[in-house]
Amino acid sequence: MSTSLAHHADSIQPAHTSQEHLRNFCIIAHIDHGKSTLADRMLQETGIVTDRQMRAQYLDRMDIERERGITIKSQAVRMPWKYNGTDYALNMIDTPGHVDFSYEVSRSLAACEGAVLLIDSTQGIEAQTLANLYMAMENDLVIIPVLNKIDLPAAQPDKCAEEVAGLLGVDMEECLMVSAKTGQGVTELLDRIVDEVPAPSGNPEAPSRAMIFDSVYDSYRGVVTYVRMIDGALTAREKLVMMSTKTVHECQEIGVISPEPISSDGLGAGEVGYVITGVKDVRQSRVGDTVTSTNRPAEKALEGYHDPKPMVYSGLYPIDGDDFPELREALDKLRLNDAAISYEPETSVALGFGFRCGFLGLLHLEIVKERLDREFNLDIIATAPSVVYHVTMEDGTNVEVTNPSEFPDGKVADITEPVVDATVLTPAQFVGPVMELCQKRRGTQTGMDYLSADRVEMHYTLPLAEIVFDFFDQLKSKTRGYASLDYHETGEQSADLVKVDVLLNGEKVDAFSAIVHRDSAYSYGDKMTRRLKELIPRQQFEIPVQASVGSRIIARQTIKALRKDMLAKCYGGDISRKRKLLEKQKEGKKRMKAIGSVDVPQNAFIAALTGGDQEGKKK
């Protein structure tokens, strides 16, 4: 929702559509299977976007979405369609495809009665396709299987149709062949949506209940909340209550998006639209929350709401310490658009002032870093991502650890770490390398199914800490890019974990500390000490670089001292004179080492915290 909303002052009143002529559906797919392109063709086919207005990925409003070809925010659009001489209104919700945003996908699915399951006919079913499909089935949605990209030379529509038919238990003929790029088959798809997806079943006479499935921040109007009316109706200038926060707001504007916002008198049961209340904080319009009217409030909120929960934590520090106030302001502004970010100030001996931030996953972390760089022009160091550990001490106290520096000293009775259920889809020839990778990452296999003769679905329980760093990269490299991964959190497990500290000249450097499994402690310590030995410039004195677990040193490298030739000015003469000069130098070095601090340049920090795995891969 950009400035287009602010400048839109149309008084067009969208005609109210009766419930039996409404169809609410979403498009679910793996990343890059053509969701946004199919949405573009539907917008053109239904005539709400002219060829002159059309641009690729029309519904993706963010630059990052357009460049990367991914959908980060859900978008809703209302399209008219005539079928058998009757006018219908189709409400389409375009959902994100990445595992990090699965909660938003689940709320979008709850706002629909049908789902278009889009599968790339050159690649077949992938992990995220399956995850979203199971979610759609749990919501009792009508599934319409669609095979996309059939115009490509590498397409294998018959093979993919066989996989989909086996998965859904339908005939192969029921899979619709479509090319979102050329528009082939899109008319038939729209007809099938009207024919197969049921009309909304809400009660128009009941107290009003609307579910928020997304919200965005508009710099002119404040928060724009996307809602799906379940029961009753909402009208403009009505007082509304958000049921989870109990906050009351006035509805300043209400309407539908087609594909730009068009205001109306109100929304009836089953309709999808937007509400503007003038609120400036996205956290007050939470995804999954229920909106009702103060005149006749609903007694019970809709099910399925929960607060977005950070899965991965990382410290964000400005490279220039003077930029700290700008970073605070930038995060405040970002949170207007993205309610899932959580952050609190923290300090590091090595990196200075910064923020400990919680993210939904690695892609979310990457997008936030990129937006801070682009939109606010900030240079930032992000510490290695970590997860939340719960430590139980011997005296019974419990400590929550989101940062290795918070790890308590003293005797530990138990440590629990979050675990995930992971699904990996891979060609059969790569089963061995995938198994080897998962076992190396402390994974436990829970199942394995052959979707077809050459496609395998593997299920593993894995510690979240083992997959947040470079698991996905390793999986792709071991399977030549063919495997796909999906995961969801399933709880916690006890683990034998230790904190590895890195010491420079006997002083701990908190930025390099990590919590790892005891079996991996030596390899982490050895890797960090070797890397720092290469990155830290030599000083006037010898510097030991050590890794320790508690008080025990497990790895050591030594940065040799810069040597000044003290004997250069001694031409001949007695040996005792030379010895005296060397002893004097030795004493000076000893004193320097005792009082000298090691100067670690900023680029060494950045390289050690971010570039390690790239270096490892090059070797």
Range of lowest pLDDT (106-120, 292-306, 473-487, 600-614): 600-614
Spatial CA neighbour of 596 closest among 552, 557, 561, 550 = 561
pLDDT at 480: 75
Peptide bond into 601 cis (omega under 30): no
The SS3 of residue 234 is strand
Percent of the chain past pLDDT 70, that is, above it, reads 80
Range of lowest pLDDT (14-18, 213-217, 488-492, 603-607): 14-18
Per-residue pLDDT band for 56 (boundaries 50, 70, 90) equals low
pLDDT at 14: 47
pLDDT at 335: 75
Per-residue pLDDT band for 491 (boundaries 50, 70, 90) equals confident
Which position has the higher pLDDT, 303 or 563? 303
Calculate mean pLDDT across residues 417-432.
84
Which position has the higher pLDDT, 197 or 615? 197
- Cα–Cα dist 231/208, whole Å: 5
Span 502-545, pLDDT tens digits: 888 777 777 778 888 888 888 888 888 888 888 777 776 777 88
pLDDT at 1: 39
DSSP 430-449: GHHHHHHHHHHTT-EEEEEE
- Cα–Cα dist 521/539, whole Å: 28
Per-residue pLDDT band for 133 (boundaries 50, 70, 90) equals confident
Per-residue pLDDT band for 593 (boundaries 50, 70, 90) equals low
- Cα–Cα dist 421/463, whole Å: 9
Q: Give the residue carrying structure tokens 């000490």.
A: 529
Residue type present at position 74: S
pLDDT at 497: 82
What H or E segment, with its residue span, contains residue 177?
strand 176-177
- Cα–Cα dist 31/560, whole Å: 50
Span 59-86, pLDDT tens digits: 555 555 555 555 555 677 888 888 888 8
Range of lowest pLDDT (57-61, 222-226, 445-449, 474-478): 57-61
Calculate mean pLDDT across residues 373-381.
82
pLDDT at 4: 39
Residues written for the chain: 619
pLDDT at 15: 47
Range of lowest pLDDT (2-16, 218-232, 508-522, 602-616): 2-16
Measured over the CA atoms of residue 456, residue 457, residue 462 and residue 465, the dihedral's sign is positive
Calculate mean pLDDT across residues 91-115.
74
Calculate mean pLDDT across residues 372-401.
82
Q: Is the pLDDT of residue 3 over 50?
A: no
